[in-house]
Amino acid sequence: MRRSFLNYARAGALAGLLAMSASAAHADTLQQDLKDLSEKQIEDSVEFAFGNALFFMFHEAGHLLVSEFGLPVLGREEDAVDTLSTLLLLEADDDVFDTALIDSVDGWTFSADASEAAEEEQALWDAHGLDRQRAFNMVCLMVGKDPKKFKQSADDVEMPQNRRQECAGEFQKAHDSWFGVLKPHLRTGDKKSKFTITYKPAKTKDLKDYVDLVKEAKVLDLLSELLSSLYVLKDGIKLTAAECGEPNAYWSADEREVTYCYELMQYHTQTVAKYFREEESGDNSESASNESDEEESSTKPTISKNIIGTATPRK
């Protein structure tokens, strides 16, 4: 299923990333968030935030496809669209998207580490799986498709060997199921669906650099290109980037709108920047979190409790 959007992704995404790493030097808040990091770390941080943005956008694309095509969802929708997001990124078979997958697994791990360090109660009732489970679900599909390419991610999350072996079958089943139900909706002709793409200005000056980052990385354009290349959707779906007041992304069926919040880009940037700083200070060992209470917690990026990848309730 190699389509033209892949070339777009490579060219657009990389150009955006490089441009942003370079222009980070004149950005205020972004510069603040990336302070003291080396050039390489800054580049990696931007790439990490971008990779996680892609995963979230594809996750919301999953809600969009379920909703627009009236697809059956057997099981929890949040799990199902995490799976689809991973499958779409894997299907691209492209370095940019593979890196996005690896970065997203790390994203869940960082988020789980932060919640555990803050002794937050695990939200067992939540519509989403726990962050670590979301990481495992992704890794299983990744090694299920290519155990060599994604070995490091499986090692990083300490996935047992016997579990890894089950993943090939799970990947195949998920792949065939998802692309099976989507097949009748595949685009065959030249006519592409039209989306309305809007990068809204930030309401607060603090996020202005992140607006530029999301814009230059062409986060919404990538999603539009992917969806319109692959599927026949009714025109007029809105893809919007906005300041939302929390790090999140969501699909609204009523509005026919995917929203990506600039705060999510900032959250992922701050998270990985924090990781790099702790790495420098040798503070990333397993035991490090035990005694790092009061002062440490004030430097943590603010994390809303249930970030991430929600669908606004459908009636």
CB of 47 to Zn ion, least distance (A): 23
Instruction: Of 270, 246, 248, 271, give the one whose Cα is nearest residue 112.
Output: 271
**Considering only residues 101-130, where is the footprint of Zn ion by CB under 5 A?**
none
Judge whether 166 and 152 are in contact, CB under 8 Å.
no
Give the residue, chosen from 309, 312, 313, 314, that forms a contact with Zn ion under the rule CB under 5 A: 309
> Based on CB atoms, which residue is closest to Zn ion, 59 or 164?
59
> Based on CB atoms, which residue is closest to Zn ion, 59 or 274?
59
d(CA 67, CA 283): 44
- The three-point CA angle 148-149-151 to 5° equals 60
> Based on CB atoms, which residue is closest to Zn ion, 40 or 314?
314
Q: Cβ of 16: how many Cβ atoms within 10 Å?
A: 21
> Based on CB atoms, which residue is closest to Zn ion, 42 or 311?
311
CB of 79 to Zn ion, least distance (A): 9
Counting every residue written for the chain, the total comes to: 315
> Based on CB atoms, which residue is closest to Zn ion, 17 or 307?
307
CB of 234 to Zn ion, least distance (A): 21
CB of 134 to Zn ion, least distance (A): 11
What residues form DSSP beta bridges with 240?
198, 259
CB of 254 to Zn ion, least distance (A): 16
Give the residue, chosen from 285, 311, 312, 313, that forms a contact with Zn ion under the rule CB under 5 A: 311
> Based on CB atoms, which residue is closest to Zn ion, 157 or 311?
311
Judge whether 41 and 256 are in contact, CB under 8 Å.
no
d(CA 236, CA 238): 6
Query: Considering only 165-173, 177-185, 223-231, 304-312, which stretch makes contact with Zn ion by CB under 5 A?
Result: 304-312
CB of 246 to Zn ion, least distance (A): 14
Instruction: Find all residues with CB under 8 Å of 28, minimum gap 6, and list them.
Output: 205, 208, 209
CB of 73 to Zn ion, least distance (A): 11
Q: Rg for the chain (alpha carbons), in Å? A: 19
What character string, x for contact with Zn ion (CB under 5 A) and - otherwise, covers 77-96?
Answer: -x------------------
Q: How is residue 46 annotated by DSSP? A: H
Place of tokens 């599927």: 231
* Residue whose Cβ sits closest to Zn ion: 309
Place of tokens 């539009």: 224
- The three-point CA angle 186-190-191 to 5° equals 85
Task: Collapse the DSSP code of 70 into the 3-class scheme (helix H, G, I; strand E, B; otherwise coil) and give the result.
Answer: coil
> Based on CB atoms, which residue is closest to Zn ion, 78 or 221?
78
> Which amino acid does the sequence have at 164?
R
The number of residues that bind Zn ion (CB under 5 A) is: 3
Judge whether 145 and 171 are in contact, CB under 8 Å.
yes
CB of 59 to Zn ion, least distance (A): 6
Residue 12 as a binder of Zn ion (CB under 5 A): the answer is no
d(CA 262, CA 234): 27
**Considering only residues 50-79, where is the footprint of Zn ion by CB under 5 A?**
78
> Which amino acid does the sequence have at 94?
D
CB of 63 to Zn ion, least distance (A): 5
Q: Name the site residues for Zn ion (rule: CB under 5 A).
A: 78, 309, 311
